[in-house]
Structure 1
Amino acid sequence: MYHEKLDVWQRSCELSVRIYRETDNVKDWGFRNQITRSSLSVPSNIAEGIEKPTAKDKQKFLYIAKGSLAELKTQFIIGEKINYIPQEITKECKQEIEVIDFMLTRLISSISGKG
């Protein structure tokens, strides 16, 4: 499958694994469930989108992945404020979210022929 060769997919998978590990001790099941679901959504939508036959469908799912990244970043900000996630972990993960977002933007542009 082509998506497995994409750096953006690989990085988003690594981020999702890290989030599962970093939030394993969070006792608030609702928060932990939401942040891990958001993190899973990113590589899942990249994979689904890249395997679609049309540029329009590819872009649709890549934009969904970008939305999940925004959701994930928000959850890190809130998680830090309520002392569920340490500041350093939040900082590192937010930086990786920004990198993945940039990579997705470039991928979307390349699919639309604007990149």
Structure 2
Amino acid sequence: MNEHSHKSFTELEVWKKARALKNEIKELSESFPVEEKYRLTDQIIRSSRGINAAVAEGHGRYTFKDQLHFCIIARGSLSETHNHFIDAFDCKYITEDRLNYFKNKIEEVERLLNGYIAYLRKNV
């Protein structure tokens, strides 16, 4: 078993930051137009939830290789979320300031996730 297996995924800093991001995104998405409910709103919520879900699922796996695989999936969901913010900006649902605010939050999660990925790669 690996050295962090005794900890819950909820203790991982990357999971905590991704959770905070997900919650802020949920709040923001409530301001999107009603006609976007099953389009952009749904997509951005799903992709932001996918970050946490993949980190949690990977953490529950037995091998570093499996954990690494799910963290790479989480990174893909993070990139998808960033793309949805660009879409929201392009549609004028958010300002450039809001886009930059969330870009910085996303980059913070990405740095933590990349650090976790580097740690896992050393142990594969």
Using structure 2 for the length normalisation, give the TM-score: 0.87
2:40 to 15, 20, 31: 31
**Which runs of no fewer than 5 residues in structure 2 stay unpaired?**
1-6
CA distance in 1, matches of 2:29, 2:67: 31
- Aligned to 2:62, the other structure's residue is in SS state coil
CA distance in 1, matches of 2:100, 2:53: 24
**Which runs of no fewer than 5 residues in structure 1 stay unpaired?**
none
Does residue 82 in structure 1 map to residue 88 in structure 2?
A: no
What's the C-alpha RMSD, in Å, of the aligned pairs?
1.2
1:44 to 53, 72, 79: 53
List per-residue Cα deviations over 1:14-62 (Å, max 9, x = no partner): 0000000011021211110000101100011111111110011101100
Which segment is superposed worse, 34-43 or 79-88? 79-88
User: Residue 53 of structure 1 corresponds to which residue in structure 2?
Assistant: 62
Aligned length: 114
Q: Percent identity among equivalent residues?
A: 28
CA distance in 2, matches of 1:97, 1:106: 14
Task: State the structure with more CA Rg.
Answer: 2
Using structure 1 for the length normalisation, give the TM-score: 0.93
